[in-house]
Structure 1
Amino acid sequence: MAEQLTGLAGDRALLGRTSTAERVSDILRSRIAEGYFPPGTRLSEDGIGGALGVSRNTLREAFRLLTHERLLVHELNRGVFVRVLAVEDVEDIYRTRALVECAVVRGLGEPPYALDGLASAVTEGQVAAAENDWKTVGTANIHFHRELVALAGSERTDELMRSVFAELRLAFHVVDDPRRLHEPYLARNRQILEVLRAGDRGGAERLLATYLADSLERVVEVYRRRVGESGQGAG
């Protein structure tokens, strides 16, 4: 924890003079997404508050916000922990993804589409794979799907899926072989991109639906092995 707090102190400058619980939660959300605080980690109020230079009340409000987003869980008389998802949570995350992401693609207007963000995410994943950096490949994959959702042009949908993708990262952090998990989707992301470039939103939706079903099966397989059916859920 000492090493984590030293690194976290470097984020203090991000708060500036207008520090708020929302900005603290933004920092902690990013750190959780990066795996800096892995699932199951107990978060120290004194340590994190000191590292960021914020009051206990501000930090508790940030914890409350992240608990509402299902990234943290409060355990009575024990403290606040980064949430460990249950298999049922993973299944629900993918159910939500399928509902939203497929609807976004289905609802696209006439081509051409603004695909620069998707293309950048595909390139990001390919570069990371060439460097054998599979954690970054996973990040690029989430960037791809975030950009896909952004094609809807809806701030509300973006906000909803930001929380869903953050939860998804909790599942990714317990995977013991990130290459096996993420590598197959490099080519599939590019295929979806190319089909959208061709203006075939129906074809893209079919590819996406199959993609998400296959990804769910793969993640649940790994998750059952690492966490098990009795993994911690909502707490």
Structure 2
Amino acid sequence: MRSQTVANQLRQEISRGRYQPGEKLNEVQLAEHLDVSRNTLREGFAELASQGLVTRIHHRGVFIAKPTVADVADFYTARAFIEPNALRTADVDVPRLSTIVATAEQALEEGDLVKVADANQRFHRVIVAGVGSSMVEDMMDRILALMRLAFLQVLEAEPEFHAPFVAKNREVMDALERMDFNEAADILEDSLISTPTAVQKYLSH
């Protein structure tokens, strides 16, 4: 397994919420888990560090990143530019988005907040996938992994933080089903502009 593959797999696991912000990574256990040499793992760590997903502290080890208030502002600035433009100009997979929203609504009814969070992340990833650019998708994957780390901090104080986004995604979906891509983009853009303040409130505590 190449170091880039190691980095991608770890990024996916971070994005799924497997690791907590600030958690120390056990190099021996991870090398066994991924079935790679420790040298390859360290190269993977270096790639993740360049993406801001981990931090290496001399003589202490490698730790999962803990996004700050400033980081969140940066994430949402990028997202507010990328995602609405994707809705306005890209070939968005509307049926797949509809399925994801329905899954989130069902999960919310069942009180499965982890599933709600996962569905919300998939919703935004599918929007960006419509652009058809592996480079943009890679950037979005990095942003969403960092966002998951920020949200894990928020969820300690507010477990139902993701719940309101289900209704907002439904609004976006309704506009898409009417083929009103500009309205869908405007709804999403408003949400992405207003959300950082709520996230930052919890991170500043």
Give the alignment partner of residue 159 of structure 1, picking from 126, 138, 142: 138
Q: In the alignment, which residue of structure 1 is the partner of 2:36?
A: 54
Please give the alpha-carbon distance, in whole angstroms, between the structure 1 residues aligned to 2:63 and 2:126.
30
Q: In the alignment, which residue of structure 1 is the partner of 2:175?
A: 195
Pick closer, same or farther for the CA change 1:88–1:152 going to 2, 3 Å.
Answer: same
TM-score by length of 2: 0.92
Instruction: Verify the 8 A CA contact 1:135 1:178 in the aligned structure 2.
Output: no
Residue by residue over 1:111-166, the C-alpha shift from the partner in whole angstroms, topping out at 9 and shown as x without a partner, is: xx531221121022112212211122111111111111122222221111111111
Residue by residue over 1:160-188, the C-alpha shift from the partner in whole angstroms, topping out at 9 and shown as x without a partner, is: 11111111111011122231x11111111
Determine if the alignment matches structure 1 residue 125 to structure 2 residue 107.
Answer: no
Please give the alpha-carbon distance, in whole angstroms, between the structure 1 residues aligned to 2:195 and 2:136.
22
Give the alignment partner of residue 189 of structure 2, picking from 164, 186, 209: 209
Pick closer, same or farther for the CA change 1:48–1:121 going to 2, 3 Å.
Answer: same
Shift of 1:20: 2.2
Residue by residue over 1:183-211, the C-alpha shift from the partner in whole angstroms, topping out at 9 and shown as x without a partner, is: 11111101101101111122112111111
Q: Which runs of 5+ in 2 are unaligned?
A: none
Q: In the alignment, which residue of structure 2 is the partner of 1:95?
A: 77
Q: In the alignment, which residue of structure 1 is the partner of 2:159?
A: 178
Instruction: Verify the 8 A CA contact 1:108 1:201 in the aligned structure 2.
Output: no
Shift of 1:108: 4.0
Q: Identical aligned pairs, as a percentage?
A: 33
Please give the alpha-carbon distance, in whole angstroms, between the structure 2 residues aligned to 1:108 and 1:128.
28
Pick closer, same or farther for the CA change 1:44–1:108 going to 2, 3 Å.
Answer: closer
Pick closer, same or farther for the CA change 1:108–1:49 going to 2, 3 Å.
Answer: closer
Please give the alpha-carbon distance, in whole angstroms, between the structure 1 residues aligned to 2:34 and 2:141.
23
Please give the alpha-carbon distance, in whole angstroms, between the structure 1 residues aligned to 2:159 and 2:117.
8
Determine if the alignment matches structure 1 residue 168 to structure 2 residue 141.
Answer: no
Give the alignment partner of residue 66 of structure 1, picking from 20, 24, 48: 48
Instruction: Verify the 8 A CA contact 2:11 2:142 in the aligned structure 1.
Output: no
Corresponding residue pairs, total: 203
Shift of 1:45: 1.4
Moved more, 149-158 or 69-78: 149-158
Which letter maps to 1:73?
Answer: T
RMSD over equivalenced CA pairs, Å: 1.6
Determine if the alignment matches structure 1 residue 23 to structure 2 residue 5.
Answer: yes
TM-score by length of 1: 0.81
Please give the alpha-carbon distance, in whole angstroms, between the structure 2 residues aligned to 1:214 and 1:178.
19
Structure whose CA Rg is larger: 1
Q: In the alignment, which residue of structure 2 is the partner of 1:218?
A: 198
Secondary structure of 1:178's match? Answer: coil
